[in-house]
Amino acid sequence: MAYAKSGWTALADATRRTIFERLVDHPSSVSGLARALPVSRPAVSQHLRVLKDAGLVVDAPAGKQRIYRVDPAGLAALRAELDVFWSKTMAAYKTAIEQSPEEPK
């Protein structure tokens, strides 16, 4: 699934990271998030739209509100990207160590 915006780019903003972290802890509505943050409801909505476009959150209707939660598939995609980076880094480290000249005894 290709996302409109990279999850990493979406999480680069501190407010969006805070919203995402709160949603990791528990699903919430826009108004619930806005009450806990120093930003307006419209600003929270905009941040949620970016997170949703990046595939990191999903929403579902609950009465007159929409409840947002972390999308496990989007989070798994971030994890997979990080795992690739980590694997490449560790392979490069292993190569560097194996090619290092041994220290004299």
The pLDDT tens digits of the residues spanning 45-103 come to: 999 999 999 999 999 999 999 999 999 999 999 999 888 888 888 888 888 888 877 66
Q: What is the CATH number of domain 7-96?
A: 1.10.10.10
DSSP states of the chain:
---SS-HHHHTTSHHHHHHHHHHHH--EEHHHHHHHSSS-HHHHHHHHHHHHHTTSEEEEEETTEEEEEE-HHHHHHHHHHHHHHHHHHHHHHHHHHHHSPPPP-
Nearest CA to 84 out of 72, 76, 96 is that of: 76
The pLDDT tens digits of the residues spanning 16-48 come to: 999 999 999 999 999 999 999 999 999 999 999
CA–CA dist 105, 21 (Å, integer): 51
pTM for the whole structure: 0.78
Count of C-beta atoms within a 10 Å radius of residue 11? 18
